[in-house]
Structure 1
C-alpha cells in the first residue's frame, strides 16, 4: 500500500473514533445527562479522540500518535 493509502486509512479510523465519541456525548445531551461520571467519561473520550486525530493530521513525519504515547 502507498503511504497516501495508509494515511487515508488511519485518518478514517481516527475520524470514526472521534465521530463515535461525539455521538456518545450528544446522546447524553439529548438525555439531559450532562454531569456526573458518565458525562465526564464521555467528555474525556471525545477530547482524547480529537487530540489523536489532530495530532495525526498535523504530524509531518507520518508517525501514528498512538505510537508516541
Structure 2
C-alpha cells in the first residue's frame, strides 16, 4: 500500500497530464480542427492519459493508506 503523500503526488502528476490533454483537445475544437494528424495525436494523448489515470485508481492497494 502506498502512503497518502505518494498517492497525492502520483495522482496530481497524472491529473496534470489528463488536464493538459483535455485542454489540448479543446484548443483544437475552438480552432475547428477536429480531424487530421493534430486531432489524432490529441485524442490519443487524451485517451492514454485517461487510461493511465484509470489504471492508477483501480489497482488494488493503490489508494491512500489508512494509517
Number of aligned residue pairs: give it: 61
- The residue that corresponds to 2:19 in the other structure is 19
Aligned CA-pair RMSD: 1.1
**Partner deviation per Cα, 1:22-60 (whole Å, 9 max, x = no partner):** 000000000000000000000000000000001001111
- The residue that corresponds to 1:44 in the other structure is 44
Distance 1:61 1:48 in 2: 22
1:61 to partner: Cα distance: 3.4
Runs of 4+ more than 6 Å apart: none
More helix by share: 1
- The residue that corresponds to 1:55 in the other structure is 55
Structure 1 unaligned regions, length at least 5? 63-69
Structure 2 unaligned regions, length at least 5? 63-67
TM-score with structure 1 length normalisation?
A: 0.84
Return the index of the structure with the highest Cα Rg: 2
TM-score with structure 2 length normalisation?
A: 0.86
Greater relative contact order (Cα < 8 A, sep 6+): 2
